[in-house]
Amino acid sequence: MGTIARYLIPIDSKLSAPEYGNKAKAALLQMEIIFEAEDAPEGLFYNGEKSKEPFQIEPGDDECGFESAGIFSSPHFILVPDEYVDGVSCPKCNADIIERWISEVRDDDGQRVEHVSSDVRILCPNCGAVLRLDQVKGETVAKFYMTDRYVCFWDARPFKPEWVAEFDRQMECHHETFDYWQT
């Protein structure tokens, strides 16, 4: 199956990013989807008692629904996904722009770069196009998002549509779901 990251990106949330993160954490803990270990880094969660409920589980799957989960909420914006990106190019001329792009996505220590605005742009050195970070063409990623909030599950089956609908109801907003993988 490879490594799969399944994202829930809120589209029309009326909450601030920190409020969204707190509400998502409370909802997922209450539903027993996630478990918060005392020694886990902030925003990282493990399988709760009902960790399989959000996913389309197949016979023979592990007893856990996912490997780990993450909730990101910040007053700043990051680009997602960036876990499995092999390369990016200019959508206008197809020039390789990974070096310019990655310097705005990850710092020298490999940590995600947080931006004050979602409107961060880079310049294509080949054709001069000015592109937002989420407008580039990914080799292995169909779409990028600049976001200040999301929920993500790693190594999980596809979401059940009815579970996403219930999560939307509890969060009082619609979520787009996106799957990114590496084989």
Q: What is the pLDDT of residues 18-42, one digit of tens each?
A: 999 999 999 999 999 999 999 999 9
106 and 73 inside one domain: no
Which of these, 15, 39, 14, 35, lies nearest to 25 by C-alpha position?
A: 35
115 and 177 inside one domain: no
46 and 125 inside one domain: no
d(CA 162, CA 174): 13
Please report which confidence band the pLDDT of residue 3 belongs to, taking 50, 70 and 90 as the band edges: low
d(CA 182, CA 54): 21
55 and 16 inside one domain: yes
10 and 28 inside one domain: yes
Q: In the listed set 123, 138, 153, which residue is the last one of a domain according to the structure? A: 138
Please report which confidence band the pLDDT of residue 183 belongs to, taking 50, 70 and 90 as the band edges: very low
First-last CA distance in the chain: 7
22 and 103 inside one domain: no
9 and 43 inside one domain: yes
What torsion, rounded to 10 degrees, do the Cα atoms 125, 131, 132, 137 define? -90
For the cut 70, the answer to whether the pLDDT of residue 144 exceeds it is yes
Pairing mode of beta strands 175-182, 88-89: unpaired
- Classified as helix, coil or strand, 85 is coil
Q: How far is CA 116 from the centre of its chain?
A: 18
95 and 12 inside one domain: no
Q: Measured over all CA atoms, what is the biggest interatomic distance in the chain, rounded to whole angstroms?
A: 53
The domain containing residue 29 runs over which residues? 3-77+145-182
Task: Count structural domains, the chain.
Answer: 2
- Classified as helix, coil or strand, 113 is coil
User: 80-115 pLDDT, tens per residue?
Assistant: 987 767 789 999 999 999 999 999 999 999 888 999
30 and 54 inside one domain: yes
The pTM (predicted TM-score) of the whole model is: 0.88
16 and 71 inside one domain: yes
150 and 67 inside one domain: yes
Exposed / middle / buried, residue 162 (Cβ in 10 Å: 0-12, 13-18, 19+): exposed
90 and 45 inside one domain: no
Contact between residue 6 and residue 159 where contact means Cβ atoms under 8 Å apart:
yes
